[in-house]
Structure formats: structure tokens, C-alpha cells
């Protein structure tokens, strides 16, 4: 016959998996690493999720969610699509301070409470300007797993290189119609596919940006242009199942009864 102590050990062992994950208070920091007078970025759109939201795919036609980011820098279609695919995801946006495009050398930060038991993956997207439809982001929804099964941070930062810049293929390349240097009303649909492309950015050289500087790409394939950093401020264990205190109380009572019979 099992003793009270062995029953208690069994109960704690059964409940242990429920305590492994954690609620994490996470700082997310964004930085524009591009050279002075080079590319800027629209606000970062992102989500912590279960690894199921696939925003786009290399070599395939871009859909409305990623086009809303790549062509206009917003998330009008991206956020609803994300939430519909993964209703428990934690979604967010980070702006620099002061608000506006993330200029070369600028940064921004925000804090989020993340339930690592259900939202251990990270997906992001942001438009690059000047451009017609260039952006940064992760193709695979499981490319960045931030937390392990215990809620510990696995990734401290994500650095994006120029060769990882995407062209949505949704709008014809035209400096006269490009965001940040051109007129939006001149835009023309392209109907191509998502591809890597940073070389065309050099064609904006000498144009005056909306921020007032003369653009000069200066980008080589391995030039770092963007960094997302993560700092876990604190982590609290997920509470044990509600029934466990009752179970432990019953085991304690059983122990008292056994001692009285000795």
C-alpha cells in the first residue's frame, strides 16, 4: 500500500507539466542599423503565436495580408488574417520615439505579457522605404521559436541583412510612385511573386525623402539593416491546476488519520 508521502509525490509529479511554461513580461526593441541616409522602415507589425500563421511564401503571389504591409506599411489586412488563423496570438506594433518612420540609427521599444505555453513563436513584418513594395519579415511561421517548454528565452535578437529584403512583387518598381520619395497615386499593380531583392533600392539614390534627407542606399548583401531584440523582464510560473490544493489537502488529512491509527 502506498504511503501518504508517496501519494503526495505522485500528485506533484502529475501536476508538474502544468507549471513548466511561464507568463513572461517581454521587452521588444527595434533598431535601424542601416547606414546614414539609407533605408528607413514603417512601424514593425508582429505577433507571438503557436506557429501557424504563414504570412507569405517565396516564389508565390503575395496575398492581401502581406501586401497591406509591403505597399503601405500598415496592418489593415495583416492583423485580421493573423487573428483569424491564431485567435490566441498576442499581436502588436512598435513605433519609434518620436513616432514616424524608423530612420537610420533610430530605435523603439514596447513591452508585452506573453503566455509562453501557447505563444512561443514570433512572426514580424515591416515595409522598407523608399520602395514600392519591399519589406522585411519571416517566410516560415516556425522560423523563430522564442521560448522553450519552460518559458525560457531561446532567442535574444534577430538581425536582418540586406540580402534578406523581400520584394512582394505586387507593385511595379517606379521611383516616381514609391513611398517616401514619390506619389502614391502613380502606383501600378505588378502581379508577380515574392522574391528576394535589395539591389533595386540603389535606384532611389539622390531622391529627397519625406524625412528630408537625400537617399543613398550604400547596401551590400551582408549589410545589417534591422535588429529586433528581446529582454525578459520577469517570468511567473503558470498556476497549478485549481484542483491540486484540494488534492493536497485530502492527502494531508489522510496522513493525520494514518498517524492516529498507529
Per-residue model confidence as pLDDT tens digits over 191-223: 999 999 999 999 999 999 999 999 999 999 999
Work out how many domains the chain is built from and give that number: 2
Whole-structure pTM value: 0.83
Residue 257 in this model has a pLDDT that exceeds 80: no
Decide if 85 is inside a domain.
yes
Dig out the grid coordinates for 56 from the structure: 507569405
Q: Is 239 inside a domain boundary?
A: no
Sign of CA dihedral 209, 215, 221, 226: negative
Cell numbers placing 260: 492516529
- Looking at residue 58, which CATH number applies to its domain? 2.60.40.2130
Predicted confidence at residue 236, as pLDDT, reads 55
Q: Are 178 and 68 contained in the same domain?
A: yes
Assess whether 95 and 14 both reside in one domain.
no
Same domain, 96 and 13: no
Same domain for 32 and 70, yes or no, is: yes
Is the domain of 175 the same as that of 257?
Answer: no
Nearest to 123 by CA among 47, 56, 182: 47
pLDDT of 262 above 70: no
* Rounded average pLDDT over 53-71: 97
* pLDDT 10s digits, 88-117: 999 999 998 888 999 999 999 999 999 999
Of residues 245 and 63, more confidence is placed in 63
Identify the domain containing residue 207 by its residue range. Answer: 23-234
User: In this structure, are 2 and 75 located in the same domain?
Assistant: no
Q: Would the pLDDT of 62 be above 70?
A: yes
C-alpha cell recorded at residue 218: 550604400
Please give the mean pLDDT across all residues of the chain.
Answer: 87
Half-sphere exposure (Cβ direction) of 30: Cα atoms closer than 13 Å: 27
Amino acid at each position: 500500500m502506498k504511503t501518504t508521502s508517496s501519494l503526495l509525490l505522485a500528485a506533484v509529479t502529475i501536476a508538474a507539466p502544468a507549471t513548466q511554461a511561464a507568463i513572461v513580461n517581454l521587452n521588444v526593441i527595434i533598431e535601424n542599423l542601416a547606414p546614414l541616409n539609407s533605408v528607413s522602415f514603417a512601424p514593425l507589425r508582429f505577433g507571438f503565436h503557436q506557429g501557424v500563421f504563414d504570412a507569405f511564401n517565396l516564389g508565390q503571389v503575395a496575398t492581401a495580408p502581406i501586401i497591406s504591409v509591403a505597399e503601405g506599411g500598415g496592418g489593415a489586412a495583416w492583423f485580421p488574417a493573423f487573428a483569424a488563423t491564431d485567435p490566441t496570438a498576442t499581436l502588436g506594433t512598435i513605433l519609434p520615439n518620436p513616432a514616424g518612420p524608423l530612420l537610420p540609427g533610430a530605435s523603439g521599444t514596447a513591452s508585452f505579457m506573453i503566455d509562453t505555453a501557447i505563444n512561443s513563436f514570433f512572426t514580424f513584418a515591416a515595409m522598407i522605404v523608399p520602395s514600392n513594395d519591399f519589406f522585411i519579415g519571416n517566410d516560415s511561421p516556425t522560423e523563430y521559436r522564442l521560448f522553450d517548454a519552460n518559458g525560457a528565452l531561446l532567442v535574444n535578437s534577430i538581425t536582418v541583412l540586406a540580402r534578406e529584403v523581400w520584394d512582394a512583387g505586387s507593385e511595379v518598381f517606379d521611383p516616381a510612385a514609391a513611398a517616401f520619395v514619390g506619389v502614391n497615386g502613380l502606383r501600378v499593380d505588378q502581379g508577380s511573386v515574392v522574391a528576394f531583392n535589395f539591389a533595386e533600392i540603389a535606384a532611389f539614390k539622390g531622391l529627397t525623402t519625406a524625412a528630408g534627407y537625400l537617399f543613398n542606399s550604400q547596401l551590400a548583401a551582408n549589410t545589417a539593416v534591422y535588429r529586433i531584440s528581446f529582454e525578459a523582464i520577469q517570468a511567473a510560473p503558470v498556476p497549478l491546476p485549481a484542483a491540486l490544493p484540494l488534492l493536497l489537502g485530502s492527502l494531508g488529512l489522510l496522513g493525520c488519520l494514518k498517524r492516529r491509527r498507529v
